[in-house]
Amino acid sequence: MALKRVEVELPEELWKLAGIPPKDASAKFQEMVVMELLRQGKLSHGKAAEILKIDRWRLMDLMAAYQVPVSTLTSAELAAELKHLRRRRAQK
């Protein structure tokens, strides 16, 4: 995957509040952008894990830490999906 270098300037106060060591800033910024794109539904879980070079279990941990929902299904949609899966399982 091709990388694009971006320079970001932030007030020193934000760096102190974030507590991100300068050597970790690039990876942390990438992680934050990926989490926001997941939140917006612009990135799949698989692609996010690939970009961050982590497995899906670690991705789920990160999503929890950033409070990014794992699923965007409503409770009604989830109930319908479960009903459908149970019906399919009963047919086997």
Contacts of 28 by beta carbon, 8 Å cutoff, 6+ apart: 18, 20
pLDDT tens-digit series, residues 39-76: 999 999 999 999 999 999 999 999 999 999 988 778 88
What's the mean per-residue pLDDT of the chain? Answer: 91
The torsion angles phi and psi of 66, rounded to 5 degrees, stand at: -90, 5
Q: What is the pLDDT of residue 32?
A: 96
Band the pLDDT of 15: cuts 50, 70, 90. Answer: confident
Q: Taking Cα atoms as reference points, which of 85, 61, 81 lies closest to residue 72?
A: 81
Interhelix angle for 56-65 vs 25-39, to 10°? 80
Band the pLDDT of 8: cuts 50, 70, 90. Answer: confident
Predicted structure pTM score: 0.75
Residue 63 DSSP SS3 = helix
Q: What is the pLDDT of residue 22?
A: 84
pLDDT surpasses 90 at 78: no
Contacts of 35 by beta carbon, 8 Å cutoff, 6+ apart: 48, 62, 63, 66, 68
Domain residue extents for the chain: 23-91
Q: What is the pLDDT of residue 33?
A: 96
Contact 62, 35 (CB under 8 A): yes
Contact 65, 31 (CB under 8 A): no
